[in-house]
Structure 1
Amino acid sequence: MNQNVPVILVIEDDDAIQVVVEDALSEGGFEPAVAASGEEAVTLLTGMQGAYRALVTDIRLRGKINGWEVAQKAREIDPEFPIIYMSGANAAEWSSKGVPNSVMLEKPFATAQLVTALANLLNSGTPIVPA
């Protein structure tokens, strides 16, 4: 891992979307680290605290832990941890299930939206709360 490039943990179990997200993050100056399940993501977040600068997660994942729960766990580790959710069917639940100061990108979205949202979360500190 390059120390100067922010590492972003991406949780996406759809291979095609995963590749698009990885490419967008790489082109945007980030280093994606990928987990395919909520359980794997929680293990990585817990075992490598401080290694990741933000979390980009789908909501519906393989296994028993969904994206809402992964984000909650990330916030238990770091209350300010930047979170971006990606979802199609579950986007409307963001206001009740999303963590404060997070972003919801409704699928399909332009990859530039992802990079911009991530840069804003990492650079601004401006709260973005579920409406």
Structure 2
Amino acid sequence: MGQSQPFRATALIVEDDLAQREMITLLLEESEYDVIACGSAEAAELVLNKPGHRIVLLMTDVNLAGRMNGVELAHLAKARHPHINVVVTSGRPLSQPLPGGTKFWSKPWAPLDVLREAEVTLERTPDIR
């Protein structure tokens, strides 16, 4: 019998700007993450509701296409998955409070910020890689 392998970290990226979504995805894939990328909070909600995913990092923009914004998605994600590390980004000041433990990054942020957050998340989550 073989030993069980640690799971590979999964990040959920929610950004309606395709170029930004692709850039974040590439950065996280280079950081040894599996990435699920969505263009709307509604699509991300379906991923969060699906059993079997162990998402450790959610990075979302505030302003998204659809009825739900990134702050609302952050609240939903933290309620359903309290362990998840959530980063909310926006080019504007927030008008809604974030759930506890959620980070806010003002745009523009540097790609190095994504890489650092990916590493911090890996360090805090057991049984990864």
Provide TM-score, normalisation by structure 1.
Answer: 0.81
Report runs of 4+ in structure 1 exceeding 2 Å deviation: 48-51, 121-125
Decide whether the 8 Å contact of 2:9 with 2:122 is kept in 1: no
Decide whether the 8 Å contact of 2:60 with 2:89 is kept in 1: yes
Comparing 70-79 with 49-58, which one deviates more in the overlay? 49-58
Query: 2:83 is paired with a residue of what secondary structure?
Result: coil
Output the aligned Cα RMSD.
2.2
Q: Deviations over 1:38-66 (max 9, x none)?
A: 11111110123543112111110010010
Provide TM-score, normalisation by structure 2.
Answer: 0.82
* More relative contact order, 1 or 2 (CA 8 Å, 6+ apart): 2
Runs of at least 5 residues in structure 1 that lack an aligned partner in the other structure? 126-131
Larger radius of gyration: 2
Query: How many equivalent pairs are there?
Result: 121
Runs of at least 5 residues in structure 2 that lack an aligned partner in the other structure? 1-5
| Equivalent of 1:20 in 19, 23, 30 | 23
* Overall identity of the aligned pairs, in %: 23
Comparing 73-82 with 57-66, which one deviates more in the overlay? 73-82
Partners of 1:124 and 1:4 lie apart in 2 by 14
1:65 aligns with 2:65: no
Bigger share in helix:
1
